[in-house]
Structure 1
Amino acid sequence: MYDAESVFNPSFRLVPSLPNEEPSRDLYMETFFNLEEPDAWYPYPENRWHRLARIFPDRIVTYPVFTNPHAQRYLTYRHGRIKTIVYEMKYVQDLPESSDAALTLIDMYLTSRIWNSSNFGLGLIKDLEPICAGLMRVPDLNTLVVTHDDQIKIDRNCARIPERQLDDLRRTFDKANRRLKERIRVAKQWHVRNALLAKLAPSQFPALVQVTSTGEMVEYRMASTKPSPAMERQQRQASVRTVRQNARQIAKDAPHELLNLHAEIERVTLANMIELFEKKLQQQLTEAHWQRFFEDNMFILSLLFARPVKLLHTQFHAQMSGIDGSGAQIGDFLFRELGQPLAIVEIKKPSSPLMQSSAYRNDKVFGPHAELSGAVTQVLYQQTALRSNWLFHQTRLQGSQPDTIKCIVICGTTPTEPEPRRCFDIFRHACKDVEVVTFDELLDKLRLLLQHLSHDKTNNEGDTGKQS
């Protein structure tokens, strides 16, 4: 007979496999019952002991159960439908010859950071129970195999998961538990301060206020101080998520406010784009960088056109290369305007010179710089190449025609001196098939658009005030 405490230290026995079976050892755990006497427990006969594990030279097969005889779930499977957990060993081991040797082998491989001890029925520790609970959502799955490779997969009725993955999950769960405990600790301190200290010594312990929009007691501040930048950022993100999740309902309940919010977002986005553009103009950036910038902000290039446009290709081949790799004509951007016309946009740099530094005749006539005239010639050549190779391109440019191909060059900044500027305007207006736009002119287009949007905002606010 056993008392209520000694049943928590059951005996174990080891049984070898039969000669015609794969060599193994079965580890059985002693089990108990009582006769309505809380302090009197009796052992079952050995043929009713629970087989806790079967040990092979290369793996340990466990059958985890609950081992508290005082609980109703005594000897039921610890992980529900996941009745078997197999641990694959890295190296082949000699089979144990005694129950103590078997327990030592199990303790050596099934470490306490992941596994329960043999006395507690093996299986995953309590913090890792969500793993088996999740596995039970997969139909017909009843076995977990812990491996040493890097593959997570299902093999028939088995889920194969690396031991390293289980350990990573354990660390993640531990971190979450520590954070939760810290939140609870802070919450208790907050309640003590507000419920007791603020009333006992209000000047020394003024009440704290919550600053989270969700009501979680995560961070607290003095009522007279500002929230931290991190908390302000979290609040803004929470506000954005709230609006996004409730956009349809807001459109029904407050359509005017939603339109105003949309317009304000557009204004702020445009202002940020202008600020970024201005900063980039002050730097010495490459053509490739500017190409990526315009590709990420295609709206800027759309301002070059009077009609809606669609980007067809970046770094497009107007003419393919020869067999030796030479002769290719590669353009920066190929657009299609509303309808069938195409448009080529070539990007240079803000620092690209537009006019010659010295006058061509007297002190008033300045010729175009080679970089500008070369860019103009380049897009005209690409235009011609597209038309000449149209039979090759038409399958990829369905819906377009080569009759009208607009050419645009974005290059340099507008000359500040009167005569070079006048000559620049004369030259580009004489380029019949090519439009030349400077980087600062593109920026001015954005500024003008922002000015109009801001003016509309002022008018709308005035109209709203009159209505109210």
Structure 2
Amino acid sequence: MARLFPNDIGTRPSGKLLFEEVHPNYNEVYYIPPDVALAEAGLDPAKAESYKKGILDINGQNDYVTIIPINTLPTHKDFLQGKYADLLSITLDGFGYGGAKTEDEVIDLLENLPSCFVKDYDYGLGLRKDYRFIVDILEDLNIQTLVISKKDSTSIDEKGTICTIKYSDFEQIRKTIDRITREARQVSSEVKKISAHNVLAFFLEDETKYPHKDIRKQDGTLARLIAKSSPVLPVHLSKVEQSAAIDLVSSNKSKMAKDQPEALVKLRNDIDLVTLEKLVQTYEEMLAKKLSEDRWQALFNENPFILNMAFGCPIIKIQDQAYVGGRKISGSGEKIADFLVKNSLSNNAALIEIKTPSTSLLNKTSYRDGVYVASKDLSGSLNQVLDQRLKFQQNIFAIKNNSKLYAMETYHVQGFLIVGTMPTEDDKIKSFELFRGNSKDITIITFDELLEKLKHLHAFLSPNLMEKN
């Protein structure tokens, strides 16, 4: 009889087969474990026949063989019980095996089973380990009986407990699994070699003689997936793989939150850190260019948490390009604030006006020695916010009613002006700080100050800093 692992382990003691004829050319085959297996399992070898278990129904008349998979390992907790949780039997229909009423005939029949089957009853009949995924899929569907048929097409019965798979379809599944297994073993071997090389190269500390190796691009997705288990191999996903990974996490986020909350929090933190790093880079690039107000408004609209950096309290964005009143009977004169926000705890409203980094803050020439006056653009912007605030307070009841925004208050409406960049000369810095420090009710923040706040946040969240602390 062919053994499952003839070259790797010693031959197990053979059990016995017991035949019961149901009718001519139809036999039920029972397995009786060897005495040594029964003893190892804590069972009485003297009662061996009482432990018999049906493992085969061989019906030569109707041309089918039914396999009943059981556990035959004496140390297994489910010794002589079903091999699978829900799948009870596997039937081969229309294979022309004929009948079998002796042990030799059963052995011959088993030798002719498809290659994916265990062919030694002492090792428990059923599908080989590489094909356990087929069983997993069927059990996910609550299938109890698998029929592999050369007569019928692939289907599931009305009760949903019997799955018939056409033999050609089953072979396609088997070949697909075989191909993946073959490729996985080949690629796994390559990844192990490269990993061993990289670890050795790290200790030798000679990049010239022992350069670091990477997974070759042509090794494809499978190589990169296997390489993920090696900390010494960088893995670069394609855009398609990135999208698939994002979709996978998104569709499983609730289960991950329940099963692996710490891992999900770490993933979220890592993503937040990378997103923040990219935002800092984008902000720096925009700051180096002369861009319009619209571009900056779009950036803040897409990343409203930047506006939080301007506040000393948590805020919620209510509306960008918000109407705050001032419309005349002619329809002109309406006031539009770039952003309407509110304190997330008190609901107190605030208005934010966005200018550009290139907006001048001070006049180019000094008013007196060491004293610079606020520029027309800065003072005009300041008055613009004050006017918006006035109109907003005057029209708040109509705005709340028309917009159905009742959870918004005007206890003390703050105004925020994001404008220009910090001067570099000491006298100009002093003049600017004096001006904005005495600007009642309106907080003035420069674009480069917001950038510094973002950088400090990124530095605070970075793992290296966390480890040092």
TM-score, normalised by the number of residues in structure 2? 0.48
TM-score, normalised by the number of residues in structure 1? 0.48
